[in-house]
Amino acid sequence: MGAFKETKLPADAPAAQKALGWVDDRFPLSKLWNDQWGRYYAPKNFNFWYIFGSLAMFVLVLQIVTGIFLTMHYKPDANLAFASVEYIMREVPWGWLVRYMHSTGASAFFIIVYLHMTRGLLYGSYRKPRELIWLFGFAIFLCLMAEAFFGYLLPWGQMSYWGAQVIVNLFGAIPLIGPDLSLWIRGDYVVSDATLNRFFAFHVIAIPLVLLGLVAAHLIALHEVGSSNPDGIEVKENLGPDGHPVDSIPSHPYYTVHDLFGVSVFLFIFSAVVFFAPEMGGYFLEYNNFLPGDSLKTPLHIAPTWYFTPFYSVLRATTADFMWVLMVAVAAYVSFLWLKSKLAFRTKAVIAVIAIVAIVGMLPQVLDAKFWGVVFFGSSVVILAFLPWLDHSPVKSIRYRPDWHKYLYALLAVTFVTLGYLGTQPPSVIGTIVSQVATLYYFAFFLLMPWWSEMGTFKKVPDRVVYAAH
């Protein structure tokens, strides 16, 4: 091992500089700052879509800090949980503010993450060489869903109790292992004190630890290959005399100011919601959650929080009648694969066998629609992970794709919002039909992407980034 060498600074150097030098000799603080932000060069044509990554980090810190203060007064006990939340709201100094910041922060987190993912879709941020960044981001999204699910039960209100009951029971639809899996998740035969304790442990300790590790991996992977940009150009391919890309600028101070402005706007909107509309008309905090959980009184309409409802609508859309439509859709898709796909014959044969087994399984005499609802519910989330391999477009950014591609993306956004809204509403005949059509489009968008993403006349991608409006 080499001898320890201490950095020599002038005797009249400021005390802060000496302190930093002392730390740097023992821990690479300045190196970490420079590598990950201070001297990290990013494309100079970022627009407002690129503030949501830093905003997500900001809200994560906000949720951790407010969560720590809430756990100081919260009681993870079925007999005391609801009362402890009321105590926080009414008796703890500024407790109401911390609780509303945490509950509003949960919804804000998902809004920001959905917008962050939308930017990835628009500008092809998941394309080579950023596939691993996308997969880490997808894993973060799964962790957020788990974190929100486990935290949803903790207030022990009516909607918390019954929403958790419904979601846990979904796992019971899985053949063979379903009932045992539901029992294991609950820790009891019904949602009870055992469920509350394990959900509290997952929400406060287990999931946040995994989440922080994934966020670190996401950022390290991002800074290893470099950020994408609205033009979809790899700026690292055009280096200047100083060894840095000619179309990039240091993140600090340029994007520090850029992100701080985004945080300022966010805090203005966030504060307005926290102080004036924390329930957001029942979408952020439902009316039934201000009533204590009662196992003997079922709410008229049970639905998860809004950020789960697009996927929940997919589950509800999978009715017994709709199964026949899905059978035809699966058969048509496999036939299309055989005719149009360049896959090897053996791969096509395997897909065909799987499809035949699935179609047989969709028959009402074999597996009921509830099981397939859970399958499509899970598939609607998991399919996002395969985007890097589904998109075969010759360009990354939506700016240089055919105009009709933009309409497909716009229709996907409308579909997602529609599914989300319908998931918050009581079931109806018209709502079910609309959600079924929306479900078909949602899956068709991704499953047919390898073909439609290559179609049309593409605009020429410039050699360097541009600033003109598109």
Q: How far is CA 357 from the centre of its chain?
A: 31
Task: Identify the band that residue 251 occupies on the pLDDT scale cut at 50, 70 and 90.
Answer: very high
CA-angle at 307, arms to 157 and 289, nearest 5°: 10
Each residue's pLDDT tens digit, 332-354: 999 998 888 887 888 888 988 99
Each residue's pLDDT tens digit, 368-402: 888 899 899 999 999 999 999 999 999 999 999 99
Check pLDDT > 90 for residue 3: no
- The pTM assigned to this predicted structure is 0.93
Say if 461 falls within a structural domain: no
CA–CA separation, 10 and 212 (whole Å): 39
Same domain, 248 and 332: no
Check pLDDT > 60 for residue 232: yes
Check pLDDT > 60 for residue 470: no
Same domain, 219 and 315: no
Task: Judge residue 314's burial from the number of C-beta atoms within 10 Å of its C-beta, 0-12 exposed, 13-18 middle, 19 or more buried.
Answer: buried
Give all strands (DSSP E) within 133-271, no chain letters.
248-250
Same domain, 274 and 321: no
Same domain, 314 and 273: no
- Which residues are known binding-site members? 102, 116, 203, 218, 223
Same domain, 274 and 358: no
Each residue's pLDDT tens digit, 184-195: 888 888 888 999
> Residue 317's domain is classified under what CATH number?
1.20.810.10
Q: What is the mean pLDDT of residues 34-49?
A: 89
CA–CA separation, 389 and 381 (whole Å): 16
Rounded percentage of the chain residues whose pLDDT exceeds 90: 63
Averaged confidence pLDDT in the chain: 91
Q: Are 211 and 137 in contact (CB under 8 A)?
A: no
Give residues with Cβ within 8 angstroms of 56, minimum separation 6. 109, 112, 113, 116
The amino acid at residue 387 is L
Same domain, 38 and 158: yes
Tell me the residue range of the domain where 108 lies.
Answer: 33-279
Say if 288 falls within a structural domain: no
Same domain, 151 and 260: yes
User: How many other C-beta atoms can be found within 10 angstroms of the C-beta atom of residue 353?
Assistant: 11
Same domain, 314 and 185: no
User: What DSSP state is assigned to residue 157?
Assistant: B
Say if 16 falls within a structural domain: no
Instruction: Identify the residue whose tokens are 């960044």.
Output: 133
Each residue's pLDDT tens digit, 113-148: 999 999 999 999 999 999 999 999 999 999 999 999
Task: Identify the band that residue 110 occupies on the pLDDT scale cut at 50, 70 and 90.
Answer: very high
- Which residues are known binding-site members for heme b? 102, 116, 203, 218
Say if 230 falls within a structural domain: yes
Give residues with Cβ within 8 angstroms of 21, minimum separation 6. 7, 9, 13
Instruction: Identify the weakest region by mean pLDDT among 12-21, 203-212, 216-225, 416-425.
Output: 12-21
* pLDDT at residue 468, as a whole number: 53
Q: Are 381 and 94 in contact (CB under 8 A)?
A: no
Give how many domains the chain has, as a whole number.
2
Say if 26 falls within a structural domain: no
Say if 64 falls within a structural domain: yes
Same domain, 324 and 275: no
Token pair listed for 253: 């101070």
- Which residues are known binding-site members for a ubiquinone? 223
* pLDDT at residue 213, as a whole number: 96
Say if 382 falls within a structural domain: yes
* pLDDT at residue 1, as a whole number: 53
Task: Judge residue 441's burial from the number of C-beta atoms within 10 Å of its C-beta, 0-12 exposed, 13-18 middle, 19 or more buried.
Answer: middle
Half-sphere exposure of 459 (CA within 13 A, CB side): 16
Say if 18 falls within a structural domain: no
Q: What is the mean pLDDT of residues 180-203?
A: 90
Q: Are 371 and 175 in contact (CB under 8 A)?
A: yes
Each residue's pLDDT tens digit, 70-97: 999 999 999 999 999 999 999 999 999 9
